[in-house]
Every structure is written in C-alpha cells, then in structure tokens.
Amino acid sequence: MKTFELNFARINLLRDDIAEVIIHNGIELNADMVNEYHDFLISHLTPPFSLLINKVNSYTYDFDAQQTLATIEHIRAMAVVAYKRSAVITTEYLASQPREKQWNLQIFSDRESAMQWLTTVQDSCATPA
C-alpha cells in the first residue's frame, strides 16, 4: 500500500483501482481542494476506480465543494465508513444532491465491510484482458 499526503488529506492506494481517502480533522473542503483531489485520483488510479471514504475525522464542505465533489466520470463506487451519526447524515445529504450522474454509494459502520463491498463491485465489473 502506498500512502500520499495532500495538504488536507491522506490517500492510501489499496489497489490500482481502489483508494482510501481520509480528510484531515477540522478541514473545510473547498472547490480548489476538490479539484486537487480529483487530479490526484485521475493520475494515480486505473479507471474506473472506487473510493473508500474513511470518515474517522470531522470536516466540512463549502457550497462549491459540495457541488463538485465526486463529479469525475472515473468513479465507479464509493463506500463511506461513518463512525458517527452526524457523518451518516452529512453523507446522505451530499448523496441526495442533484447531479448529472448519481453516486453509487453505500454507507458502512466498519472499514472491513466497506472494503469487501468495494472489492466485489470492482471485481464484478472487471473486463478480462
């Protein structure tokens, strides 16, 4: 596993097509951060890819970030690990926002279940070489 540090997040590359994203505590994500995050994903993962969003920390999103988050076409699925009820509510709110393409998103209370789901999604959609 390779780990990368952005100014606002740590990203663990779990496979060439799955990354774990941990936003730093107390961050307010803005559109520039979201763009940097998207650029990182596109340059380091094999599309289509899936994301494990580990909400171990508390953070927020400004309006522009809410509108642009996870809008790149390469994202197949997102598993969110939410340890607190507030993280579940925030995730459900973000997922309910109108988008051109609705998210393929599931919320989990533990990392292992989230990773199992992502692996199943990625492996079931894999195309033979």
Supply the CATH number for residue 20's domain: 3.30.750.24
Distance between CA atoms of 108 and 129, rounded to whole angstroms?
Answer: 32
Is 101 part of any domain?
yes
> In this predicted model, what pLDDT tens digit does every residue of 43-81 receive, in sequence order?
999 999 999 999 999 999 999 999 999 999 999 999 999
Domain boundaries, position 89:
2-121
Q: CB-based burial of residue 18 (10 Å sphere; 0-12 exposed, 13-18 middle, 19+ buried)? A: buried
Position 129 scores a pLDDT of 45
**Cα-Cα end-to-end distance for the chain:** 24
Q: What is the mean pLDDT of residues 90-112?
A: 93
Q: Which pTM was predicted?
A: 0.93
Strand 9-15 and strand 18-23: the pairing is: antiparallel
> In this predicted model, what pLDDT tens digit does every residue of 18-34 receive, in sequence order?
999 999 999 999 999 99
Indicate the number of domains in the chain: 1
